[in-house]
């Protein structure tokens, strides 16, 4: 085969698989970082008493995945581990096509305050740190 034929074959047969794999790995890694960097409410550290029945983990549980459109609204879930949110992100990244716009959002009304450092558990936010790491995330995903 000639170089041109080899390159054409690679572009048609192998490159799409590499691209799909890279995008999926990157979406999953970004989701993991966002979820696990998210603070979980610890009422013992608060200056005021928590509401009756308070359990931390709603913010972590509210990371939502969307493809082609950003999810709207919030979830009533509580999940301090973040496992349900990670499962949604992984499932979405693996079942949707890779090429397109992937959304990972948290629509809780206090999400921006947490991103801006409101919590001592995440003084530098979640999204801004992950954004800074994006080039490295993509390098690793492409391996």
Convert the pLDDT of each residue in 90-134 to its tens digit.
999 999 999 999 999 999 999 999 999 999 999 999 999 999 999
Q: For residues 14 and 1, give the distance between their C-alpha atoms in angstroms, rounded to a whole number.
A: 16
For position 11, what pLDDT does the model report?
64
For position 136, what pLDDT does the model report?
98
Q: For residues 124 and 12, give the distance between their C-alpha atoms in angstroms, rounded to a whole number.
A: 43
Longest dimension (CA), the chain: 73
**SS3 state of residue 50:** coil
Convert the pLDDT of each residue in 64-99 to its tens digit.
999 999 999 999 999 999 999 999 999 999 999 999
Convert the pLDDT of each residue in 9-47 to its tens digit.
766 777 677 889 999 999 999 999 999 999 999 988 888
* Helices 134-141, 15-37: crossing angle, 10 deg rounding: 140
For position 93, what pLDDT does the model report?
97
Q: Is 17 left (phi over 0), alpha (psi -120 to 50) or beta?
A: alpha
């Amino acid at each position: 085969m000639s170089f041109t034929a080899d390159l054409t074959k690679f572009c048609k047969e192998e490159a799409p698989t590499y691209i799909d794999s890279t995008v999926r790995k990157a979406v999953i890694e970004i989701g993991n970082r966002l979820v696990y960097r998210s603070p979980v409410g610890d009422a013992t550290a608060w200056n005021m008493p928590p509401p009756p029945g308070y359990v931390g983990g709603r913010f972590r549980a509210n990371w939502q995945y969307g493809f082609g459109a950003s999810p709207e609204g919030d979830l009533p879930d509580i999940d301090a581990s973040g496992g349900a949110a990670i499962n949604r992100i992984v499932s979405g990244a693996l079942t949707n096509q890779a090429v397109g716009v992937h959304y990972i959002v948290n629509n809780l009304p206090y999400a921006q305050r947490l991103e801006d450092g409101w919590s001592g558990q995440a003084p530098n936010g979640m999204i801004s740190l992950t954004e800074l790491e994006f080039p490295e995330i993509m390098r690793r995903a492409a391996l």
